Homo-oligomer: A and B are copies of this chain.
Amino acid sequence: MSKTIFQKDLEQFCIDALNKSGMESLYAVVTAKVLVETDAYGTHSHGTKNLRLYIEKFKAGALDQKARPEFILQGGAFAVMDAKDAMGMVSSYLAMEKAVELAQKSGIGFVSVKNSCHFGAAGYYANMAAQKGLIGIAMSNTDPNMTVPGGKSMIIGNSPIAYAVPAGKYKSMFLDIAMSATAALKINQAKLEKKAIPNTWLVDDKGIPTTDPKYYGNGGALQPMAAHKGYGLSLLVDVLSGVLSGGEITSGITSWCFDMAAKNRVSHAFIALDIRQMQPEDKFIERIEGYIDYLKNAPKAKGNDTIYYPGEIEWLKKQKADEQGIALPDDVVQSLEQLAQSTGLSLAWVQ
């Protein structure tokens, strides 16, 4: 059953659970903030549901709750981080902070990260930059789950890319997408419900587009979004994150959640752009606000009365969460309650 909890209570629970697992306070705070904010956006697949698994991964020795990510190289407007198998939220938070600092100095900043672990939702890090008045871009490679045009089986990852742009009177314009046509989650859901899927989502074990979700996890693979377009963009993420950092790509990465005992070894990249050095800030903001007005006032399709700007749906959910608490779906509630039981902590459910 869905249950509701206030963000500050959920954050405190996460912090306490992480502390009990041996993670120091500041790192636990950052991790909790990222996961709870992600739930507040409605992206429950990447939020606090996974905390239990990250903690299992500590215990399995494949994720190091005490690791201190280190900048191993730094130049004019770039840095390279070795995350040392630290929590992905910690390495990513520190990496985006560095990208912002570099951008504030040089206009643009680029940070690539190796030896990290699943960073949750890319949108959080992009929004870190936007909250400071900069444009943020965040990306991560993933273990292979996607085919490529002409191929079959899981060859490359569906590497997420997110960006966020400060938008003045509006909450940031932001997008957080993976390079596959759809999320594996939706295919697994269709599998449970024994429903057919669009034939652009999955290929079967022969590499042929299929409407049968059973092939996911059984020789099939996700299809890239827009065929060669998602294929090519996914490779760019691997290059900027994995190859430029000297970190892992494709088969060098192990699923963070299907193989608890293996180090994930995912790579990330973060870019920040300092608007203020290029344009008067008020003029930039006025134009972004105007852009959002333009989109929202654009002609509507028959039967539709609202156009959302990118990020708007997430911000509406966040606003509701701020006012009423986050309504967490069953699977998240179950995962959190398991964690509460195993740690002896309690969850302050509103209802």
The residues of B that contact A173 with a CB separation of less than 8 Å are 235, 239
Given the known inter-chain contacts A76-B76, A76-B77, A78-B278, please indicate yes or no for A307 contacting B150, CB distance below 8 A. yes
- For A207, the chain B residues whose CB sits under 8 A away are 299-302, 304
A271 closest partner in B (C-beta): B108
Question: When the two chains form their complex, are residues B151 and A300 in contact, meaning their CB atoms are under 8 A apart?
Answer: yes
Minimum C-beta distance from A267 to chain B (A): 12
Known: A107-B75, A279-B246, A307-B150. A226 touches B232 (CB 8 A): no
CB-based contact B228/A226 at 8 Å:
no
Which of chain B's residues has its CB closest to A76's CB? B106
A277 to B108, Cβ gap below 8 A? no
With CB as the reference atom, state the residue of chain B lying closest to A147. B301
Choice from B112, B150, B229, B273 contacting A308 with Cβ under 8 Å: B150
Chain B residue nearest to A105 in the complex (CB): B76
CA–CA, A338 and B310, complex, Å = 45
Q: A78-B108, A284-B243 are in contact. Are A151 and B232 (CB under 8 A)?
A: no
Complex formed: what's the CA distance from A226 to B112 in Å? 27
CB distance A300 to B150 under 8 Å?
yes
Of the 9-residue stretches A51-59, A258-266, A286-294, A320-328, which lies at the interface with chain B? A286-294
A298 adjacent to chain B (CB < 8 Å) = yes
Flag whether A231 is at the interface (Cβ < 8 A). yes
What CA separation (Å) do A135 and B271 show in the bound complex?
A: 15
Residues on the B chain within 8 Å of A334, using CB: none
Contacts of A226 in B (CB 8 A): 177, 181, 225-226, 229-230
A107:B135 contact, CB within 8 angstroms: no
Instruction: Identify which of A177, A206, A232, A275 gathers the most chain B CB atoms within 10 Å of its CB.
Output: A232
Which label, helix, strand, loop or mixed, suits the secondary structure of the A interface?
Answer: mixed
Shortest CB–CB separation between residue A176 and chain B, in angstroms?
9
Closest chain-B Cβ to A306's Cβ sits at a distance in Å of 6
When the two chains form their complex, are residues A232 and B150 in contact, meaning their CB atoms are under 8 A apart?
Answer: no
Q: How far is the CB of A311 from chain B (nearest CB, A)?
A: 8
Could you tell me the distance between the alpha carbons of A208 and B304 in the complex, rounded to whole angstroms?
10
9 smallest beta-carbon distances between A and B, as pairs: A207-B301, A76-B106, A175-B232, A78-B107, A225-B226, A77-B106, A77-B77, A206-B302, A232-B310
Apart from A107-B110, A243-B287, A244-B278, 10 more pairs, CB < 8 Å? A75-B278, A76-B77, A78-B278, A108-B109, A148-B295, A155-B299, A156-B295, A163-B236, A165-B236, A206-B302
What would 28 A/B residue contacts be, using CB atoms closer than 8 Å?
Answer: A77-B106, A78-B107, A108-B108, A108-B110, A112-B278, A148-B295, A148-B307, A149-B307, A150-B308, A165-B236, A165-B239, A173-B235, A175-B233, A177-B228, A177-B229, A203-B301, A206-B301, A207-B301, A207-B302, A226-B226, A235-B309, A240-B273, A243-B284, A243-B287, A243-B288, A245-B279, A246-B283, A249-B291
Chain A interfacial positions (CB closer than 8 Å to B): 73, 75-78, 80, 105-110, 112, 135, 147-153, 155-156, 163, 165, 173, 175, 177, 181, 200, 203, 206-208, 225-226, 228-233, 235-236, 238-240, 243-246, 249-251, 271, 273, 275, 277-279, 283-284, 287-288, 291, 294-295, 298-302, 304, 306-310
